[in-house]
Amino acid sequence: MSNFKSLLEAALRGQENHVCDLYVTVSQTAMKKIEAVWGISSAKKVCYFSAEFLVGRVVYSNLQALGVLEDMREVFRKYGLDANLFEDVEDAALGNGGLGRLAACFLDSAATMGLRMDGYGIRYRYGLFKQHFHEGFQRETADDWTRFGDPWSIRREKERIQINFGDQSVWAIPYDMPVIGYGGKTVNTLRLWQSEPMNGFNFSEFDEHTYNDSYAVRNAAEAISGVLYPNDDTDEGKRLRLKQQYFFASASLQSMLREYRAVNGSDYSKFSERYAIQLNDTHPTVAIPEFLRLLMEDGVSFEDAFSIALHTFAYTNHTVMAEALEKWDVSLFCFVAPAVYPYVVMIQNKLTQDLHNRGINGADQMPYYIVDPDQRIHMTRMAVYATHSTNGVAALHTEILKHDVLKEWHALYPERFSNKTNGITQRRWLSLCNPKLAGFITERIGDGWITDLDQLERLRDYERDHDALWELADIKRHNKLCLAEYVCSREHGVKLNPDSIFDIQVKRLHEYKRQLLNAFSILDIYFQLKDGCLSDFYPMTFLFGAKAAPGYRRAKAIIKVINEVAELVNRDSAVMDTLKVVFVQNYNVSYAEKLIPAADISEQISPAGTEASGTGNMKFMLNGAVTLGTYDGANVEIAQQAGHESNYIFGSRVEQIREIKDSYHPRGLYEASPGIRRVLDTLIDGTLNDNGTGLFRELFDSLLHGHNPDQYYLLLDFESYMATKLQANRDYRDRLEFSRKCLHNTSSAGIFSSDRTIREYAADIWHL
């Protein structure tokens, strides 16, 4: 019997079988297995700085990586326990969406490839809020993700770091989580910092004021790592947000420098040979001036410190939206981190000199200002200027950075720019979440794909194999049944028909992601069905999952619209067997693991040039769904890999949108098309009910009125979207041919492994 099994059995004997206890027991048993290998490497270390790590549920993936997941299942069976019990354990939702999930996939890939890469971030007390619907409206509650304990973290009290803000000082206490590479040979670390007060309570002080004051100090200290900001777009310029950024950036740097000095003393000349720091968006960019401060306070000159920073740091951009590019007011910055501001000024002064040397002076310097004349600090500019590498996250996105968003910088430093198309870990997003498909693949080509996804190409041999294609269709049906069961239990008895087409859109809720366009298409289908002018329509189930930032009014209105569309459609017996719409509550990583394997159609419908990459699109592709998508982000590369024959690509391209941009009049489209009019009018004619809030009228107006109506071109792409969606519906009837498309997507998805992405970062940016 394996060592793990006997340990687990010994631990289980005589123990009460509460989920909590079992969770701790299983996790601790696994932790014993990694003690000997955790963090032993002495190679150059990549430090991945990120305000978010959306790791999800780690118990199953860790056991899988250690090769003991089956052992655990066996022991549980023997003891009459349900191995699915841990589905009650909360996800570690320490991230909003794509950017945070990417960080988690990267950690998995680096560890699996035996690279030394540690994550550095924040141990939020509360992760991304939990969502439920009340009368179709989103409601939020706190996400107490450690409710069942946190057996995967080790608190390293002795390695605490002092952080000084303008108004307070706090401890940063590191909590280390193991990042277990597949096979268990490499175990890296995810180090998350928790803020705590410098002084505990002073119980000898009975004076009520002192007592209350010490409470306030304690709360203010703990508030810094208190909660994840639920915004994933607009930069609100909030003080606490900047505090969070400085808190984890400074703690991470100080802990790295401590480590470095233990070996090299204060000779920093070798620093960039030993460490690379990757900035996940600009959120940790305050680390750059902080790094200068820490080195210069230890006797390094500005020129030397800047050069070391330049060689150490690299920056990844995740957005083209102007409103998401971080800027901080100097006054706010000085309030939060007064000791750091002088180093920002030094960077700005060096920049001014560099520009001057290149003959760029006066007003021509405007687009470069790190500290602009309005006293705002541009974090993106600092990140490009003070690092040796800036990368985008998909080919199209990188082109937009080079020739639009950061064109001035690209003109100065073309050699700094590169593309690193995102990826996903096949360990979680196939092996773990879709065991039936994983089995199908392994039966045919072996299990090498788990660490070398390019091997999926060998599945091409089966694209003419009818037995294989039917088997694949069966697997999809099985996954739909599993999802149906799960949805039924989670969404108060909602029934799904596994023999309908599952068309799924899951992602954060944003106007630019155009969930509303999807809703409009469903309404159009509904009306056409009612009119009897849609013959041979194959039954469809539309599934949505999305959280809206709590302060994002229009996003929340869109959730209500979709829930109203669901009401309208689902209670109409005329379309009962043909059309169903479900918006699942509290979409998160674990829900994604159920939804994605059950999809026939993956909705990726942002207007061209708005979605930096997308990674959900890759997960669906890998699991054998066809993409119904635009020429945007990584969809472009998906279509390139799998071909337009196996996907449904529609809508305007970037160049087309650029051309019509200034003369776009959605009103004309509304007036010219009765179909569009009927659908849009549901917002204001009483068909859909916004409970008297006026929200639907606002949405309607945002599409047709005001100075920049329909800024995400829903109406422009509507006809093309409808036509393509209905084409997919017709094609589905040829089950064998559709199954072939699905297989072709899976067999073409190799390039979208985050192993490939990490290999590129390692070779081109980190020089490992």
Pairing of strands 579-584, 117-122: unpaired
* Residues 238, 242: Cα–Cα separation, whole Å: 7
| Total binding residues toward ligand 26Q, as defined by CB under 6 A | 24
* Residues 399, 105: Cα–Cα separation, whole Å: 24
- Residues 632-661 contacting ligand 26Q, CB under 6 A: 633
Q: Which residue type is seen at 261?
A: R
What mask, x for binding ligand 26Q by CB under 6 A, covers residues 340 to 379? ----------------------------------------
Q: Which of 615, 627, 746, 757 is catalytic?
A: 615
| Alpha helices for 705-734 (secondary structure H) | 714-731
619 is catalytic: yes
CB of 67 to ligand 26Q, least distance (A): 30
Two tokens, residue 394: 């998909």
| Segment contacting ligand 26Q by CB under 6 A, of 141-149, 233-241, 267-275, 361-369 | 233-241
- Rounded to a whole number of angstroms, the distance between the first and last alpha carbons of the chain is 40
| Segment contacting ligand 26Q by CB under 6 A, of 343-351, 609-617, 654-662, 664-672 | 609-617
* Residues 713, 272: Cα–Cα separation, whole Å: 46
- Residues 239-268 contacting ligand 26Q, CB under 6 A: 241
| Segment contacting ligand 26Q by CB under 6 A, of 211-219, 234-242, 284-292, 573-581 | 234-242
CB of 393 to ligand 26Q, least distance (A): 4
What mask, x for binding ligand 26Q by CB under 6 A, covers residues 411 to 440? -----------x------------------
Strand partners, 418: 391
Q: Which of 420, 594, 619, 744 is catalytic?
A: 619
Is residue 602 at the binding interface for ligand 26Q, with CB under 6 A as the rule? Answer: no
Is residue 603 at the binding interface for ligand 26Q, with CB under 6 A as the rule? Answer: no
513 is catalytic: yes
CB of 99 to ligand 26Q, least distance (A): 3
Q: Which of 45, 101, 507, 741 is catalytic?
A: 507
Does residue 504 contact residue 602 with C-beta atoms inside 8 Å? yes
Is residue 99 at the binding interface for ligand 26Q, with CB under 6 A as the rule? Answer: yes
Distance of CA 680 to the CA centre of its chain: 31
- Residues 322-341 contacting ligand 26Q, CB under 6 A: 324, 326
Does residue 753 contact residue 424 with C-beta atoms inside 8 Å? yes
* Residues 253, 262: Cα–Cα separation, whole Å: 14
Q: Which residue type is seen at 185?
A: K
Two tokens, residue 711: 């800024």
* Residues 115, 46: Cα–Cα separation, whole Å: 8
> Which residue's CB comes closest to ligand 26Q?
98
CB of 612 to ligand 26Q, least distance (A): 4
CB of 383 to ligand 26Q, least distance (A): 13
* Selected binder of ligand 26Q within 7, 93, 98, 396 (CB under 6 A): 98
366 closest CA partner among 414, 374, 404: 374
Is residue 33 at the binding interface for ligand 26Q, with CB under 6 A as the rule? Answer: no
Does residue 280 contact residue 49 with C-beta atoms inside 8 Å? yes
* Residues 288, 356: Cα–Cα separation, whole Å: 23
* Selected binder of ligand 26Q within 115, 384, 450, 612 (CB under 6 A): 612
CA angle (233 as vertex; 506, 242 as ends), nearest 5: 130
| Segment contacting ligand 26Q by CB under 6 A, of 95-103, 195-203, 400-408, 437-445 | 95-103
Report the interhelical angle of 515-531 vs 553-570 (nearest 10°).
20
Does residue 253 contact residue 294 with C-beta atoms inside 8 Å? yes
* Residues 80, 330: Cα–Cα separation, whole Å: 61
Is residue 26 at the binding interface for ligand 26Q, with CB under 6 A as the rule? Answer: no
* Residues 95, 241: Cα–Cα separation, whole Å: 14
What mask, x for binding ligand 26Q by CB under 6 A, covers residues 379 to 398? --------------x-----
358 is catalytic: no
| Segment contacting ligand 26Q by CB under 6 A, of 164-172, 316-324, 566-574, 684-692 | 316-324
615 is catalytic: yes
Give the catalytic positions in this structure.
318, 507-508, 513, 615, 619
Contact footprint for ligand 26Q (CB under 6 A)? 96-99, 102, 229, 231-233, 235-236, 241, 318-319, 324, 326, 393, 422, 611-615, 633
